[in-house]
Amino acid sequence: MSFENRFNSDEIGSSIIELKNVSRQFGTQQVLRDITMQVYSGETLVLIGESGCGKSVMMKLMMGLLESSSGDVLWNGVPIAGRSDGELVQDRLRFGFLFQGAALFDSMSVFENVAFGLRQNTKMSEEYIRHSVMNRIQDVGLSAASASKMPSQLSGGMRKRVGLARAMALMPDIILYDEPTTGLDPIMTDVINTLILKTRSRRPVTSVVVTHEMSTVRKVADRVLMFYPLSRLQPGEPQIVFEGTPEQAFSSLDPRVSQFVYGEARDRLEELAAA
Amino acid sequence: MPGLCCFGVSRIGLPLISPSAVDFASQFPHFHGRDAVSTASTADSRNLIHSLGGETIRFVEGLGDLALFTLTTLRWMTRGLPRRSVVLQSMYEVGVRSIGVVLITGMFIGMVLAVQGYEQFHLMRMETRIGAVINIALVKELGPVLAATMLAGRVGSAMAAELGTMRVTEQIDALRALGANPYQYLVVPRFLACFLLIPLLTAFADAIGIFGGWLLSTQVLGVDSAFYWHHSLDYVAAYDVLTGLLKSMFFGAAIAVISCHRGFNCGAGAEGVGRAATESFVLSFVAILVTDFFVTIFTTHLYYVIWPAPVSLL
């Protein structure tokens, strides 16, 4: 199948996703303003920032699930705007997306959830699908018995792992993790962190992780971008307030960055009470 | 100050006037500064007209959005049908599981027509004619509308809630991420199920209603069975039954499109899902009655086009 060796076509280090002056607003509310950034092939990029600063929107823009209000999103240097619906759907299969709440299909079992992408996009035999799905389920540390369970029977950590197995089923080159550890206990958080690392060691994938969890930043990040909510910025100030390695983030002298990475309220409570 | 003023205007729910207010403010910055009281009173006096205009525009926008949604659905229907298992599941949910409630309500509507009609006809000593009235009312109006109402209540709001939940929990995005088109995968099967199965549900409602009316009239109220059927056959033509069934297909399409559209545009959280379910029923019901009116006018005219002479006015 063509998708299995597709990732070889990207040179390590080339720009695989690029955003050029991208803005996005919902109704009258602007969430992202004039964002320019790149994701390089093979890296693990972590996006941090307060809730509501547009990180999840960024991920959906990167994958073409949302359209930008202005500016261009490029995949391998080609704007996605020019592609037909069919091409867009086909190219989007290079991405795996782990959704915030896992977004498992409620009406399907774990097995059917993981098999969905294969059934939808390939003509594989039932036997091959079974084999492939069970491998994915084992990759994320779930037992074969859990394959027949329904999503409502799973714990939060299991749901996230099934979501990860589903995102990996089509062997994507790029995996986008939207808050993969939010709502999990510290041990499960580290399990997910380890899975992110293991995924990368198994195959040369590009990863983009949105998170609030600094342990994830420490453990998986090659490069960190920090976003700031537009409402806290003056007009014209760039929305990306930090770019660098995790070490640089922890030693940053920018009060906005250090406040976030060390999790300090400072005068925020007074500010909120006054508003 | 001008900025604050515009913010106030948009906060009271009139987003549509804020762009012009911004232009105005930037052109005449002194206006707001000089006479704040008069601006405030202008804003107040604009309220009623603008909220009326705002509502009207929202309504037209909603209608246009629904039309686009319908077109997209129809376009995806022509690009190959969804998998059989998905359609069959929808059909089971829409058709098979609605039979019970349609039979019960159909039975009672037939019986209540008999009770209501009997008194009047009895006064005129024409109670044998009651069958004609019951049956023509059932096949032309009550059967289709009743089946559609039951479908809107039982299936329509459930579809809106289900798709709404999928929207809120990002399952619709997940479908797209995995290469499936949400219209093709979610809307088309539901549309087909409603559109194709509602005539059958209507036929069930008609049949059980006819039976209920007959049962009460002849077995309880003592109308002669032979005359009951004789008069019914005189009045009820195949054309009436068929237009009733045809009409119901419009209702089915309206229910499916409206409910799926509400689900797709569901607001955040449990509240949004609840509202989508309620709205889908209310809007479906309105749509049923409005399309009923127009389709009935059309089929009535069509009758005289096909059979130009007034056939029987006795």
Interface contact flag, A65 B173, Cβ < 8 Å: yes
Looking at residue A231, the DSSP 8-state letter turns out to be: G
Nearest residue to B312 (alpha-carbon basis) of B178, B110, B132, B108: B132
What is the tens place of the pLDDT at every residue in B268-289?
Answer: 888 999 999 999 999 999 999 9
Backbone angles phi, psi at A212, to 5 degrees: -110, -5
Instruction: Tell me if B178 and A170 make a contact (CB, 8 A cut-off).
Output: yes
Q: d(Cα B226, Cα B212) in Å, to the nearest integer?
A: 16
Beta-carbon contacts below 8 Å between A and B? 58
Residue A98 pairs with which residues in a beta bridge?
A177
pLDDT tens profile A203-254: 889 999 999 999 999 999 999 999 999 888 888 889 999 999 999 999 999 9
Residue ranges of domains in chain B: 2-68, 81-306
Same domain, residue pair A147 and A57? no
pLDDT in tens, chain A (275 residues): 344 444 444 566 788 999 999 999 988 888 999 999 999 999 999 999 988 888 889 999 999 999 999 999 999 888 988 888 888 888 899 999 999 889 999 999 999 999 999 998 988 899 999 999 999 999 899 999 999 999 999 998 899 999 999 999 999 999 999 999 988 899 999 999 999 999 998 888 999 999 999 999 999 999 999 999 988 888 888 999 999 999 999 999 999 999 999 988 888 888 888 87
CA separation for the pair B147, B285 (Å, rounded): 11
pTM of the model: 0.82
Give bridge partners of residue A226 from the DSSP assignment.
Answer: A48, A242
Give every CB contact of residue A88 below 8 A, 6+ residues apart in sequence.
A64, A80
Distance CA B284, CA B294 (A): 15
**A229 occurs within a structural domain:** yes
Nearest to B178 among A90, A101, A117 (CB): A117
pLDDT score of B3 more than 80: no
Q: Of the candidates A125, A147, A171, which is a domain's last residue?
A: A171
Same domain, A157 and A125: yes
Beta carbons within 10 angstroms of residue B267's beta carbon:
13
Q: What's chain A's average pLDDT?
A: 89
Looking up residue A196, the CATH number of its domain turns out to be 3.40.50.300
Q: Are residues A132 and A213 in the same domain?
A: no
Q: State whether A137 and A60 are in the same domain.
A: no
Chain B from 96 to 155: CB within 8 A of any A CB: none
Cβ within 8 Å, pair A103-B178: no
Instruction: Look at residue A2 and tell me if it is in a domain.
Output: no
Q: What is the ipTM of this complex?
A: 0.88
Helices (H), A228-267: 246-250, 255-261
The nearest CA of chain A is from the CA of B170 a distance in Å of 5
- The total number of structural domains that make up chain A: 2
B191 pLDDT band, cuts 50/70/90, is very high
In a domain, A6, yes or no: no
Question: For B233-260, what is the HEC assignment?
Answer: HHHCCHHHHHHHHHHHHHHHHHHHHHHH
Q: Do A75 and A88 lie in a common domain?
A: yes
In a domain, A7, yes or no: no
What is the Cα–Cα distance from B42 to B92, expressed in whole angstroms? 58
Q: Closest partner residue to A65 among B15, B18, B177, by Cβ?
A: B177
| E strands in chain A | 15-26, 29-40, 44-48, 70-75, 78-79, 95-98, 174-178, 206-210, 223-227, 240-244
Phi, psi values for residue A53, rounded to 5°:
-95, 5
For A178, nearest residue in chain B (alpha carbons)? B170
- Asked if A106 has any chain B CB less than 8 Å from its own CB, the reply is yes
d(CA A142, CA A144): 7
Contact across the interface for A106 and B165, Cβ inside 8 Å: yes
Helix, strand, coil: what percent of chain A each, to 5?
Answer: 45, 20, 35
For residue B268, list chain A residues with Cβ-Cβ distance below 8 A: none
- pLDDT band for position B248 (cuts 50, 70, 90): very high
H or E stretch at B116: helix B99-123
B177:A116 CB<8 A? no
Contact criterion met (CB < 8 Å) for A60 and B173:
yes
Split at pLDDT 50, 70, 90, the class of B38 is: very low
CB contact under 8 A, B180 and A120: yes
Encode pLDDT of B91-129 as tens digits: 999 999 999 999 999 999 999 999 999 999 999 988 889
Question: Does A54 map to a domain?
Answer: yes
